[in-house]
Structure 1
Amino acid sequence: MVKRDWSAAEAAAHEWLDAWSGNVPGGVVLGMQNGAPKLIAAAGHCGAGLGPIDADTVFRWASITKHVFATCLLESKTFALEMPLVEALPELATAPAAVTVGQALAMQGGLPDPRECLTLLGVGNHERTEADALYQWMAGCDWLNAVPGTEVAYSNGGYRLLEVAMARRGFVFSEMVAAHAERLGIGMRTSEHWTDPVPGLVPGHVPEADGWSEGFQGMHLSAAGSLSGSAMDLARWLGDLMPRAIFNRIARPMPLGSGEATGYGLGISLARIGGMAVPGHGGAQAGYRAGFLCDPEDGTVLVALTNRDDADATGLIAHVWAALCGVAPGTLPKPAGEWAPPGLYVAAGGALWAEVRPGSIIVRDAEEKLFEGDDGWFVSRAAQSDMRLRFAEGALTGTLFHRPVRLLPARDDQAVPDLDGNWISDGAFLQIRGRVLNWGGGPRKCAAPMTPLGNGRWLFEANGRRICLDRLSDDRLRLSLARARGVEYQRL
């Protein structure tokens, strides 16, 4: 059993939190062992006129919701993990129908993420969408990001589908959460929409050039990220969950179809810290960041919740955990630094692209920090974004999400896209003239320059995202992001 140094953990927490002291948004770190609080460190304010943050301040938990839903699903004993989704949702299109329940929960189903699909259709983050309409639309999407069981790549799609399947069998997630909250005497609760009243919820803060704005999401929330509560609520929930056999099941990583090991289970990932594999998860929503780590061997829980969009809650909690366990700073992974020539890279075919930056890589517009590995390799620390890369012979080689890759520097071949005209997808409309893509209408119309990647691939920016356009034929093109790689447009 690892010896715990709670004084060192508290000092490590303040190394981060002290930068948030004063009249700015902040966060809280809470440590608990066998139900007894051992560490409470907080800094910053809840919002204008709302006072300082503490262990009982209510935040959105974002994707930390996932392991709670996985727990409820297993408790219902309704679906076997090996069961294809079509057995619960017979109206699903052919492609998602064969994805299993386990694959959907373990990020192996290749299911497209609804939020990123909406972005590719020009629907903004603040536009409201409803649960039934979202489900009917998702059920008809007959494509996947990847062959099920071949990669671990993050998506909220499986959780939304399974929440519908559970409700049809009489197991409503919000009601199950409410029953657990009442049993434990905690304030954990779900929300249908961002605007639903939540007692004590603090606003999330997004940094702007001239201060802060309040975070907002229009899309209907789901079992992928609908929970809120305090740090004390989350610690008590985890303290109750860890001794139960069901925790071992959701925390156990699910291997790929090939049998290759992964670090991601059912809403729980394993963080590698000083030779330890520590169960936990992170979460991010507009204005909020969250993270937790835990050890069922001695009932230890660490939670970090923040109400600021620029916080790195998972990095904070890993830093505190290392101090708690006496992991020497010199034994922790070293940030990558200048690990490869910066710039854009692209696969020989298809829409896989990346941008190398000092200390990180952006893949399909999703950034991941990298660290020095062995023998000149650079690796990620996120089980749901597994990466092992190096630059050799003019190319990035290695693996992304457990799949082999070779990416070459993008090139401007001076080609004209030859895509002039009007394009439509499921009612969404865009227009291309030369190297400029026009999207939206009226005051929301934007003209986005198209950056060439070579071989019929182009990048453009819209709704704050860099989107890849892949020309499939004279009359078909595909738009893609990290979690949604198959939205096709037809030329009118």
Structure 2
Amino acid sequence: MLAAAALGVLGAPAAAQTSDAAIRAALSDPAHNVAPGCVAGTFAHGQPTGLVAQGYADLAEQRPLDGDSLFYAASISKQFTALAAATLVARGELSLGDDVRQYLPELPAYEAPVTVAMLMHHTSGIRDSLGLLRMAGVSDVGTASKDEALGLLFRQQQTQFTPGTQYKYSNGGYLLLAEIVERVSGEAFADYAQHAIFDPLGMERSFFLNDNSPAKGTFAHGYGPEGDGFVLRDSFPRFSGSGGLMLSMNDLARYEYDIEQGHRVWTPEVTQIMLAPGRYTDGSLIDDGGGLAYAGGLHLGEKGGQQVIVHTGSAEAFKHAYLRLPGQHSAFAVLCNRGDWKATDRLKAVMAASDVRYPGMPLSSPEGRFYSSELNTYFRLTPVDDGIAVEVTSPFIAAPVVQHYEADDDGGFHHETMSIATTDNPDHLRLKRGTTAELTLTRVDQGAGQ
């Protein structure tokens, strides 16, 4: 049976209470008394260690966010779509190596077969269904049906590249994956996910949309900034596969418990399918362009010496991030209903408040005065909360300017198109601007130069 802490509303034990104020500050909007916001959850060994809800699910009714608030999960949905497919694979009813035309004969015969694994790992070359809808003049994809989106995919006479040879993230691939689950199981995808995933895990509120809108008053509305306030933006797709999941943080706790301890759905066989990184047809590992591979609806690999499993979700007015550190048996998530916030930034702040370093973030911030002889320019570096302040002094400007470089998960610091990275020598830094130039900064005495 699921542990009581995960069955009830998420709560923070005494040891986690000290971080709540810092997490709440990271999720607050001091400019507005009534604003959308986020729900943050922290987990250890599959057990919830904290929840902070800040902001409102409905601004007009001033209904606050809480652990049971349902969010449109956007691409966080993909791991649940992959999980539904993985349960069929584990039972022998579907194979990752199957040609998808075995189940979707409406698709043209492409230059190379598209397999189920290629859909799951974004190596199929199938075009993006949401992009196709927008190209066809649909400005609000929330008005389109699943059949309309599928119809556009079935009309595509070519893939974007030879299937299996490249990685390109595709909502269309996951829409097709959900359709395969539907045809193999013999029931609507939303219904199959309900009894194969949500019911066994006790995810009582969560569900997949099936060309319908969630009932009024049951979910967190999405909002975007407008003037001095916010405007309602519930313009998310009503069909499932690439998105479509309505998810609460309390239900995510039940999901997290099953990954770590329950194994009712995340059985060893299913876990192997979900966490095996995809490969190209030549056998090489997928590179998602950010230093990670891609498995069952999840980016995974190593960042800064830590194993990481991560995925974000983004719709017009919903921004989410979910990260697991399997080596530490810990996980962190933020679900946000405002489109002007970057979920990864909120997640980093939540983790920092929990005294956990976001994978790949710099271990320390460089500090001091450095000089570039090639630029005849001095750089004074001062650590700040989320990066470094860099005061630039050169003969080309009338007065010093200060630039803010934000710490990032590639181990460096970034300002617009420029970056500063540490080297093996603490007295040398690397300054880079796009592909224009890469220069060395050398530490100088505090009194040197101007």
TM over 0.5: yes
Counterparts of 1:266 and 1:129 in 2: how far apart (Å)?
A: 26
Q: 1:150 to 1:322 in 2, by over 3 A?
A: farther
- In the alignment, does 2:244 pair up with 1:226? yes
- In the alignment, does 2:36 pair up with 1:25? yes
Counterparts of 1:210 and 1:326 in 2: how far apart (Å)?
A: 35
In the other structure, the counterpart of 1:315 is 345
- For the 8 Å contact 1:335–1:372, the answer to whether it is kept is no
Counterparts of 1:196 and 1:56 in 2: how far apart (Å)?
A: 14
Displacement of 1:160 in angstroms is: 0.8
Return the letter of the residue paired with 1:25. P
Counterparts of 1:135 and 1:326 in 2: how far apart (Å)?
A: 42
In the other structure, the counterpart of 1:252 is 276
Return the letter of the residue paired with 1:116. G
After superposition, give the CA deviation of every residue in 1:2-28 in whole Å (9 maximum; x if it has no partner): xxx846754652342133673111111
- In the alignment, does 2:146 pair up with 1:131? yes
After the TM superposition, which residues 40-439 of structure 1 pair with which residues of structure 2 at under 5 Å, given as runs? 40-47=51-58, 48-77=60-89, 78-95=93-110, 98-125=113-140, 128-169=143-184, 170=186, 172-179=188-195, 180-186=197-203, 187-193=205-211, 195-197=213-215, 200-217=218-235, 219-243=237-261, 244-245=267-268, 246-258=270-282, 259-262=284-287, 263-270=293-300, 274-296=304-326, 299-321=329-351, 324=354, 326-327=356-357, 330-331=362-363, 390-392=434-436
- Greater strand share, structure number: 1
Displacement of 1:178 in angstroms is: 1.7
Return the letter of the residue paired with 1:153. K
The alignment covers a number of residue pairs equal to 354
Residue ranges of structure 1 left out of the alignment (5+ in a row): 339-357, 361-367, 379-388, 395-492
Counterparts of 2:110 and 2:297 in 1: how far apart (Å)?
A: 23
Q: 1:185 to 1:198 in 2, by over 3 A?
A: farther
- For the 8 Å contact 2:307–2:326, the answer to whether it is kept is no
Paired residue secondary structure (2:143)? coil
Counterparts of 2:355 and 2:111 in 1: how far apart (Å)?
A: 42
- For the 8 Å contact 1:85–1:97, the answer to whether it is kept is no
Counterparts of 1:271 and 1:304 in 2: how far apart (Å)?
A: 21
Q: 1:332 to 1:62 in 2, by over 3 A?
A: farther
Displacement of 1:70 in angstroms is: 0.7
Paired residue secondary structure (1:94)? coil
Displacement of 1:285 in angstroms is: 1.6
- For the 8 Å contact 1:281–1:293, the answer to whether it is kept is yes
- For the 8 Å contact 1:273–1:332, the answer to whether it is kept is no
Return the letter of the residue paired with 1:74. A
Counterparts of 1:225 and 1:238 in 2: how far apart (Å)?
A: 19
Counterparts of 2:43 and 2:141 in 1: how far apart (Å)?
A: 37
Paired residue secondary structure (1:135)? helix
Counterparts of 1:27 and 1:108 in 2: how far apart (Å)?
A: 33
Paired residue secondary structure (1:42)? strand
Return the letter of the residue paired with 2:194. A
Return the letter of the residue paired with 1:31. T
Paired residue secondary structure (2:63)? coil
Q: 1:92 to 1:159 in 2, by over 3 A?
A: same
Displacement of 1:71 in angstroms is: 0.9
Counterparts of 1:127 and 1:51 in 2: how far apart (Å)?
A: 23
Counterparts of 2:418 and 2:306 in 1: how far apart (Å)?
A: 19
Counterparts of 2:182 and 2:66 in 1: how far apart (Å)?
A: 35
Displacement of 1:192 in angstroms is: 2.2
Counterparts of 1:37 and 1:108 in 2: how far apart (Å)?
A: 35
Paired residue secondary structure (1:112)? coil
Displacement of 1:307 in angstroms is: 1.0
- For the 8 Å contact 2:76–2:312, the answer to whether it is kept is yes
- For the 8 Å contact 1:235–1:303, the answer to whether it is kept is no
- For the 8 Å contact 1:61–1:283, the answer to whether it is kept is yes
Displacement of 1:66 in angstroms is: 0.6
Counterparts of 1:201 and 1:84 in 2: how far apart (Å)?
A: 38
1:39 counterpart (41, 50, 56): 50
Displacement of 1:184 in angstroms is: 2.7
Q: 1:9 to 1:173 in 2, by over 3 A?
A: farther
Return the letter of the residue paired with 1:121. A
- For the 8 Å contact 1:193–1:218, the answer to whether it is kept is no
Return the letter of the residue paired with 2:113. A
Return the letter of the residue paired with 1:178. Q
Displacement of 1:373 in angstroms is: 6.0
- For the 8 Å contact 2:42–2:51, the answer to whether it is kept is yes
- For the 8 Å contact 1:9–1:324, the answer to whether it is kept is yes
1:14 counterpart (19, 24, 28): 24
Displacement of 1:94 in angstroms is: 2.5
Return the letter of the residue paired with 1:67. Q
Residue ranges of structure 2 left out of the alignment (5+ in a row): 1-14, 262-266, 288-292, 366-385, 391-404, 408-415, 424-429, 439-450
After superposition, give the CA deviation of every residue in 1:298-317 in whole Å (9 maximum; x if it has no partner): 64232211111112222322
Counterparts of 1:79 and 1:17 in 2: how far apart (Å)?
A: 42
In the other structure, the counterpart of 2:382 is none
- For the 8 Å contact 2:82–2:296, the answer to whether it is kept is yes
Paired residue secondary structure (2:310)? strand
Which moved further from structure 2: 8-17 or 135-144?
8-17
Displacement of 1:203 in angstroms is: 0.8
- For the 8 Å contact 2:78–2:242, the answer to whether it is kept is yes
TM-score, length of structure 1 as denominator length: 0.63
Counterparts of 2:281 and 2:419 in 1: how far apart (Å)?
A: 27
Q: Aligned Cα RMSD in Å?
A: 3.5
Counterparts of 1:325 and 1:32 in 2: how far apart (Å)?
A: 13
Q: 1:370 to 1:247 in 2, by over 3 A?
A: farther
- For the 8 Å contact 1:204–1:308, the answer to whether it is kept is yes
Counterparts of 2:181 and 2:299 in 1: how far apart (Å)?
A: 23
Counterparts of 1:119 and 1:83 in 2: how far apart (Å)?
A: 30
Counterparts of 2:110 and 2:387 in 1: how far apart (Å)?
A: 39
Displacement of 1:113 in angstroms is: 0.7
